Amino acid sequence: MISLSTVIHWRSWKRPFSKRPFAAVAIAILMGTFSAQLLAADNSTEYRIKAAFLFNFARFVEWPDTKFVSATSPLQICIYGSDPFGEILDETVRGKSVGDHPLVVLRIAKIDELKSCEIVYMADTESARFATVIAALKGSNSLLVNDHPDFINQGGMIRFLIVDRKLRFEINPDAAKREQLKISSKLLQVAKIVADES
Amino acid sequence: MSSAIGDMPIRRKLSMSILLITGFALLVSTATFIAYGWFSTAGAIRADLTSLGNVVAKNSTAALTFDDRDTAQEILQALQARPAIEVACLYRVAADSTEGLFVSFVRANRNDSCTEEPATGSAETLSLSGLSLQLPILLGEEHIGSLYLRQDLQRLWQGVGTSVLIGVAVMVGCLLLSLVMTSVLQRVISDPIANLAGVAKNISSSGDYSVRAQELGADEVGQMVGAFNDMLEQIQSRDEELEKAREQLLGEVEQRSLANRELESTMADLRNTQQQLVETEKMASLGGLVAGVAHEINTPVGVAFTAASMLSGEAVTMGAAFRNGQLKKSSLEEFIHVAEESSRMILGNLERAAHLIQSFKQVAVDQSSDEVRSFTLGDYFSEVLLSLRPKLKKRAVEVIMDCQEGLVIRSHPGAWSQILTNLVMNSLTHGYEDGDEGEINISAQNVGGKLNVIYSDDGRGMDEATRKRVFDPFFTTRRGSGGSGLGMHIVFNLVNQTLGGHVKLESEPDAGVRIEIVVPIREDESSER
């Protein structure tokens, strides 16, 4: 598994890499196929981090008791629309649980089926249907996560963004409150807080 | 050291012990106080640091989870407000499970830094320089990082310093206070003792036992003072009794010495009387002698008288016949024969009487005087025995003389006559019953310049008790029948004092008596005759 720090370092190398092409070439030659894989894996690395974040959100957010069917029922992370994670998310949450709730990853196509999900991740490709989905999930106490800049303004709760080449996220506490989600202050501490744009 | 303590006045001993005890108690309590302060402060600091660590750990979970260095740094930076915190290190478990330094906080001016990896080992270490704490940071059950905190111990040292300061101040104050109190309180104990000691010293130096110590209480010292006073009382009364007894004794001694003087004078009287009695006894024996002599002379004088009477009668008858002329030749022849016979008888008897008188006269004179003269001992003894013949004649006791021929001595003949008379009379009185046959032997020898007279009889002798007291004055076994108890005493005195010799008596019951008299012979004795 490639660590987050590796990603970060890799990113921080980007600049010196360009300034010192000889070294970069040398390293690339030395590392051979491995370097090529790393570069090729750029996209997947980002999603690994996102997958880890998704899982970790589950640990800093409290859902109302009514959200779960039972005390041991699974915590469902649902991906709506096209799936950018592939196997990565499944690998990340495999065998993990939050409290007594084991984590499962579901890929959902129908909006109605999203209502039982604790966390709903919508790919950017679905940005046209954000409002519809958000409206449909109103009152279902689901944590909505997305990458799109407009998402958080339309009622989403967490949005990923890149700051200084690091993956960060914004939180709209008001939106979470509306869905009776308790977001840990610690999570708020590390997040960028945004308010509703009324 | 111990003797120095022993010589100290009680006052100082008391002060010293009280101060020592107080000091020790204060020291112990202060040390306890300081130790308690140390441990409680250390405990509080530890608890504080632990809770602070827990808060920081809890707060940093999200920052660690979401790899947010800025937030983590902010969280650690908040420790700036805790001046005791020197170093804080936050370690994060990366995706590859390795744990490395995430962010760190080092207080300005502290030359310190965080290690790249969290320390393994004890979570909490307390050293003189500081207290360090390492806490695992958990999210749920997942170990996501570690927090290392180190705090200086300024607060602890300050606390201890304050404690020491307070303790020393309290100690000094208490010691001063106890010094003051001791000087007051010790008087309660030491003053009565010092008082008692002073009184005892006074009494022993002045000898005045009428002084009494003052009783200041009923405690042990008070009891001691009471006992001391009782003792003084007893000594005083004993002194008085002693004085009384001494006076009584003096009186008694005076009485005794008075009695002694009386006794002495009585003794002198007694001796006087004894002397007189001895003299009387001597005179009495002289009287006996005279009676014997008279008796002895009576016979020849009587015979002479008869013969003279007969001659006178015949002469008258012859004278008448001659004047009548009737004188016959035969008658004349008869008268002449009678006259011759009578004259011879008269002459012989008168001669005998004269001889007797002569010898008796000598003995009597000797006996009544202390004259010293030379005489032949054998002859003199024979004369003495002659004077005893009237006594011996009645008895069947024979006296055998065995005196050295021609032994002339210069001595007190009276003393010897007295000695011989007493010895013979004693033998006759005590040694033999009337009619007993016996033999008395008297021998006298010059043995080596000393006259040795041995007198012995074969009579009844005497037992030991009698023999031991035989020379004592007035000792007699015949008190009722005329014994004076002075005979042998006179013998002893004459031999020892008058003659300057000594006498020894040997006797056993039924074995007779043997008396040895040894006296020195004077130088001119042999040249006398």
pLDDT in tens, B126-137: 777 788 889 899
* pLDDT per residue as tens digits for the range B380-400: 898 888 888 878 888 889 999
Of A96, A83, A95, nearest in space to A44 by CA: A83
pTM, whole model, 2 decimals? 0.48
Length of chain A: 198
Tally of CA atoms within 13 A in the half-sphere of B108 that contains its CB: 3
Query: Is the Cβ–Cβ distance between B353 and B307 less than 8 Å?
Result: no
Reported as a pLDDT band with limits 50, 70 and 90, residue B254 is very high
Task: Please give the Cα distance from B146 to B123 (Å, whole number).
Answer: 10
> Average pLDDT for residues B430-445, to the nearest whole number?
89
Please name the residue of chain B whose CA is at the shortest distance from the CA of residue A163: B68
CA angle B444, B447, B451 (to 5 degrees): 50
Chain B residues 59-88 with a CB less than 8 Å from chain A: 59, 61-63, 65-68, 71, 75
More confident site: B363 or B34: B34
Looking at the complex, report in whole angstroms how far the Cα of residue A23 sits from the nearest Cα belonging to chain B: 26
Q: Closest partner residue to B62 among A1, A99, A187, by Cβ?
A: A187
Question: Is the Cβ of B94 closer than 8 Å to some Cβ of chain A?
Answer: yes
Paired tokens of B404: 């050295």
- Adjacent-strand bridge partners of B133: B124, B149
Beta strands in chain A (DSSP E): 61-62, 75-80, 97-98, 101-108, 119-122, 143-146, 158-163, 166-171, 182-183, 192-193
Adjacency order of strands within the sheet including B396-403:
B396-403, B437-447, B450-457, B513-520, B502-507
* pLDDT per residue as tens digits for the range A102-140: 999 999 888 888 888 999 998 888 778 888 888 888 888
Check residue B139 and give its pLDDT: 85
Check residue B514 and give its pLDDT: 94
Of B377, B508, B370, B482, nearest in space to B426 by CA: B482
Of B312, B374, B380, nearest in space to B346 by CA: B312
Task: Please give the Cα distance from A119 to A76 (Å, whole number).
Answer: 6
* pLDDT per residue as tens digits for the range B183-195: 888 777 778 788 8
pLDDT truncated to tens, each residue of chain A (198 aa)? 333 433 334 433 434 444 444 444 444 444 433 333 333 346 778 888 899 899 999 989 999 988 888 888 999 999 988 888 888 889 888 888 888 899 999 998 888 888 889 999 988 887 788 888 888 888 889 999 988 888 888 888 999 988 888 889 999 999 899 999 999 988 998 899 988 765
Query: Is the Cβ–Cβ distance between B319 and B331 less than 8 Å?
Result: no
Instruction: Name chain B contacts of A3, Cβ cutoff 8 Å.
Output: 94-96
Task: Please give the Cα distance from B396 to B332 (Å, whole number).
Answer: 47
Instruction: Name chain A contacts of B66, Cβ cutoff 8 Å.
Output: 53, 56, 168-169, 187, 190
pLDDT cut 90: percent of chain B above it? 17
Looking at the complex, report in whole angstroms how far the Cα of residue A15 sits from the nearest Cα belonging to chain B: 21
Please name the residue of chain B whose CA is at the shortest distance from the CA of residue A61: B62
Interface contacts (A, B; CB < 8 Å)? 51
Top residue of B54, B55, B65, B141 to mutate, by most chain A CBs within 10 Å, is B65
Mean pLDDT of chain B: 85
Check residue A3 and give its pLDDT: 39
- Adjacent-strand bridge partners of B515: B455, B505
CA distances from B409 to B401, B426, B455, B528 (A): 17, 25, 18, 8
